[in-house]
Amino acid sequence: MAAPPARARADYDYLIKLLLIGDSGVGKSCLLLRFSDGSFTTSFITTIGIDFKIRTIELDGKRIKLQIGDTAGQERFRTITTDIRNWIRNIEQHASDNVNKILVGNKADMDESKRAVPTAKGQALADEYGIKFFETSAKTNLNVEEVFFSIGKDIKQRLSDTDSRAEPATIKISQTEASGAGQATQKSACCGS
């Protein structure tokens, strides 16, 4: 009995890899911890290098395994600059052309006057780049699920569209080739008539 295809053995329909990038202290790790484990901590532990979390979600009847990388935002752990425009420029330079991007303003539980980026400025920047903008709070769990489900849905849709546009592979066998193959089989049979 043949083994089922690898995709059928997997516990998911799509594997999507996400990467959280941004300045140090903006709450990338807290956002990821809230989404993956449903918890929040006020203890600030600097991410060194990159940390990964995995969570499987369901979208439109498909199981989506999200593998989320949390990057260090500190300058000594990376070579790219801290401004959002530079983050976007680096994505455009180093990622594939069809990469999905969203802009997230975390710490929405804080008074707007204390935030590093006001809502209107974040939305204007997202509009400039033609990407979605979300305000979240890892502390209060505001929009955390929505962010990850939204990008997961967008990527799943892009992958589904790509799969449906791909031409199905067909093998054409001409009548002559089919006849010749049958004759060769008949001639090589040891006890054939």
**CATH, residue 143:** 3.40.50.300
61 within a domain of the structure (yes/no)? yes
179 within a domain of the structure (yes/no)? no
Domain count, the chain: 1
Residue 71 to residue 59: CA distance in whole angstroms: 26
**Which residues have a Cβ under 8 Å from the Cβ of 123 and sit 6 or more positions away?**
133
96 within a domain of the structure (yes/no)? yes
Calculate ∠ Cα 41-113-103, nearest 5°.
Answer: 65
137 within a domain of the structure (yes/no)? yes
Q: Write down the pTM of the prediction.
A: 0.73
Q: What is the pLDDT of residue 66?
A: 96
184 within a domain of the structure (yes/no)? no
Residue 113 to residue 100: CA distance in whole angstroms: 30
Q: What is the mean pLDDT of the chain?
A: 80
Sequence-ordered alpha helix ranges (H) in 27-113? 28-37, 84-94
- The pLDDT tens digits for 116-165 are 889 999 999 999 999 999 999 999 999 999 999 999 999 999 988 887 77
**Cα dihedral sign for 148, 152, 153, 155?**
positive
